[in-house]
Structure 1
């Protein structure tokens, strides 16, 4: 492969092969069953073959096809277990790797964007990429001042490929829907397409990453590598080693799973409050678990900013030692997709959560109607709306909650079952555009928490960071109590 496949006809043909392939394998399975194989064995073989083709096509095409695959990968927890295995293996690969572009292409981009003498900027530069992602790949290098850095190089033609893929996938949305039961694929593809221009703009990405790096510079729990240099199609950031979250999901200890889950929830809700930005690409490839190191901040072995993530220190696997559960830190990568929320997350989310937990069906319904979640020409029973919401927000009700694939499958099944009241009611609800990205990020984060099987004190993070979740009168009373105690 000399470059990212850019001809529209070539990419369209490859993507068109996906739904055709699914149909072909169904016919093949029927033939096998007639020949005497059990439905269970045939079903397993079908899923394996489908998963293999999915990874092969999406991985080769990169661009929007791979971005779509990465977005789907965090929802594999919602699949029935007999289907989840093959897809889990194939889709997880998309979080960490894809076929790389040739060295000559990489050197050409660096010469064009950094100048013919680009090698003088580096003491070392590894031609073999440490990660290949949807719109760019990462190379490990040593900057001229001795810092270990990650160099993200954008694929030539990435923008054209992204739009082409997402437009084509949009046409196949109905056929791709069965990949994730209970999930509407079309809005996901539309939302990904709307974010293309931002993700291709490395100047915007560098700005968002710098803001996060500055805010979290002295944070004991979250590490964000700083930006070293940025130009069109090339982004150089500090390198960050650590254990990818995908490895923790596969082999991590329960202590690591719980700590990673807690910090992931903390970053999701604290990020907008502290920076006015929501990190909007929460798949496991964008996070690392780092041992505590009181002597070193983000500058030590700091890292890349990519939607797939680098190779990790071969000496540090999921069982690397840390000073107890509290010793692990969360490394965060890839700020190419962010939602700009100058006031933090909307108060409406916290207010609605609080009122739902309090069981105030009428107040919740009025708020949802006011914000556009229930359209003016729709009339719903407030009690039924409350019944629909309560199981979904169960994690916020408990002091601590264990996220599991089984729980997520139960929620997905409840909403996907056309015979259930939840399905009928869900069809009548609306998601206002301003909440689209927040909704996707929240669902994706829950998907990752379920992959981790983490026990998380979610309510603690909501009380600390989510506006509106704690009633104002209660906050005022807390302030008075604290002041009285200080006196």
Structure 2
């Protein structure tokens, strides 16, 4: 067996062990309940141990396993604190790092995808990666552009895709789709299968570095003169190698989540929201990978609060008509004005409620509270407690909101937008940030401020 198939087989075996581990812990838990232990306490213990195994396993793998883990990690704020606290370290680790690729493999990838003369342009390359993600890792380097007259050197970030990343990504996602029941106990009420299906649909785009370079170049040009947000320019691209300008940033938003002051949380939370909504208005695309590792803290020269850098444009939604759907802002405004009948009519028109499906308009209005409440006040504070309450309210099988959710439909054109918004709300809740959410929507979300 060659090295790549051997690794793939090992990865599959480790993923396959997840539901088996849950089944074993459930059996032990059943025995404890027979022995008189409180049922809720036993369930909490089973969930905690399952979560620890899940995120430890995902953190040690690459490909789709790590990508899936990163998507789940921004939902950590929705979990009950007694479950979230013991394995928060595993979750945040997924947002910033993964085991490195050997230097010889990196150099082989550079030769294959930048050409045999890559050393003439990339005159220095750090052997150790500065960051790793689900399908590739990043090295710092120094680039000389011989096409310019001065031949000046500049620091660059060299993103190199893992060999076989495409095969591993799709294999992992297929395996996780089959093993959804082993993940479900960690996020009770979260429907895992549609999440994995959407990740599978986007996988090809994320593997295409030419597409990523095109999106990043558009964002870099649009934000070139922005006072608070920086997107590195694209320097060179090959099929599995992407070279961009270097961002001198010691930390990501994961650091602010762990250790930031309230001033830092509010500052970077507001910049994140502004980027999220200004990006589509300025580029016609939505950056659709809202996990903290993609957002970098750039130190200010005076020691104050700095700008925010944005990385990783492999997952973007290329918006129809070059803008966020105007119905999004319009429906949000209708919900904010507490007009449930008009809200239901608008949702039907957009395909969120199918024909002949009857719903209670007041219940629909209540169900959409997580999207409406932040825009109802001048400044809204996102907290883990608020996120947790919203998550539990709509995902409790005994609640009316849960029954309503089974009647609603998410149109294909909104899948990535919806996942991005939910992920963004999760990240803001992790930050515990206060932001002028309503003002930003009025400035940048089509349909929201229209008469």
- What is the TM-score when the length of structure 2 is the normalising length? 0.92
Distance in 1, matches of 2:90 and 2:50, equals 9
Contact 1:4 1:61 in 2 (8 A): no
Cα shift at 1:54: 2.3
Cα shift at 1:231: 0.7
Cα shift at 1:70: 0.3
Specify the alignment match of 2:303 in structure 1.
Answer: 321
1:330 has 2:312 as partner: no
Specify the alignment match of 1:247 in structure 2.
Answer: 255
Specify the alignment match of 1:261 in structure 2.
Answer: 269
Contact 2:381 2:434 in 1 (8 A): yes
Contact 2:286 2:316 in 1 (8 A): yes
Number of equivalences? 441
List per-residue Cα deviations over 1:30-63 (Å, max 9, x = no partner): 6678899998997777566434432342233311
Distance in 2, matches of 1:5 and 1:61, equals 15
Distance in 1, matches of 2:173 and 2:439, equals 38
Distance in 1, matches of 2:3 and 2:128, equals 15
Which of the residues 381, 385, 388 maps onto 1:409? Answer: 388
1:112 has 2:90 as partner: no
Distance in 2, matches of 1:368 and 1:158, equals 39
Cα pair distance change 1:97/1:41, threshold 3 Å: farther
- What is the TM-score when the length of structure 1 is the normalising length? 0.85
Which of the residues 206, 209, 222 maps onto 1:202? Answer: 209
Specify the alignment match of 1:317 in structure 2.
Answer: none
Specify the alignment match of 1:418 in structure 2.
Answer: 397
Cα shift at 1:117: 3.5
List per-residue Cα deviations over 1:362-413 (Å, max 9, x = no partner): 1111110011100012011222222322454111101111100000110011
Contact 2:382 2:433 in 1 (8 A): yes
Specify the alignment match of 1:181 in structure 2.
Answer: 188
Distance in 2, matches of 1:466 and 1:356, equals 15
Cα pair distance change 1:115/1:261, threshold 3 Å: same
Distance in 2, matches of 1:190 and 1:116, equals 38
Distance in 2, matches of 1:51 and 1:177, equals 10
Specify the alignment match of 1:19 in structure 2.
Answer: 19
Cα pair distance change 1:123/1:391, threshold 3 Å: closer
Cα shift at 1:10: 3.3
Contact 2:48 2:186 in 1 (8 A): no
Which of the residues 166, 170, 179 maps onto 1:159? Answer: 166
List per-residue Cα deviations over 1:456-483 (Å, max 9, x = no partner): 11001000001111133xxxxxxxxxxx
1:383 has 2:362 as partner: yes
Contact 2:229 2:275 in 1 (8 A): yes
Q: In structure 1, the residue corresponding to 2:296 is in which secondary structure?
A: strand
Cα pair distance change 1:87/1:208, threshold 3 Å: same
Distance in 2, matches of 1:175 and 1:166, equals 14
Q: In structure 2, the residue corresponding to 1:189 is in which secondary structure?
A: helix
Contact 1:3 1:101 in 2 (8 A): no
Which of the residues 374, 391, 400 maps onto 1:395? Answer: 374
Match runs of 1:85-484 below 5 Å: 85-144=85-144, 145-242=152-249, 243-293=251-301, 321-322=303-304, 327-341=305-319, 342-390=321-369, 392-472=371-451
Q: In structure 1, the residue corresponding to 2:313 is in which secondary structure?
A: coil
Distance in 2, matches of 1:201 and 1:117, equals 22
- Where does the alignment leave 5 or more consecutive residues of structure 2 unmatched? 145-151
Distance in 1, matches of 2:237 and 2:272, equals 27
Distance in 2, matches of 1:27 and 1:171, equals 21
Distance in 2, matches of 1:365 and 1:52, equals 41
Q: In structure 2, the residue corresponding to 1:237 is in which secondary structure?
A: strand
Cα shift at 1:11: 2.9
List per-residue Cα deviations over 1:345-374 (Å, max 9, x = no partner): 111011001111111111111110011100
Contact 1:6 1:160 in 2 (8 A): no
List structure 1 segments (4+ residues) > 4 angstroms apart after TM superposition.
2-8, 28-49
Which range is displaced more, 142-151 or 128-137?
A: 142-151
Cα shift at 1:22: 2.1
Cα shift at 1:161: 0.8
Contact 2:50 2:186 in 1 (8 A): no
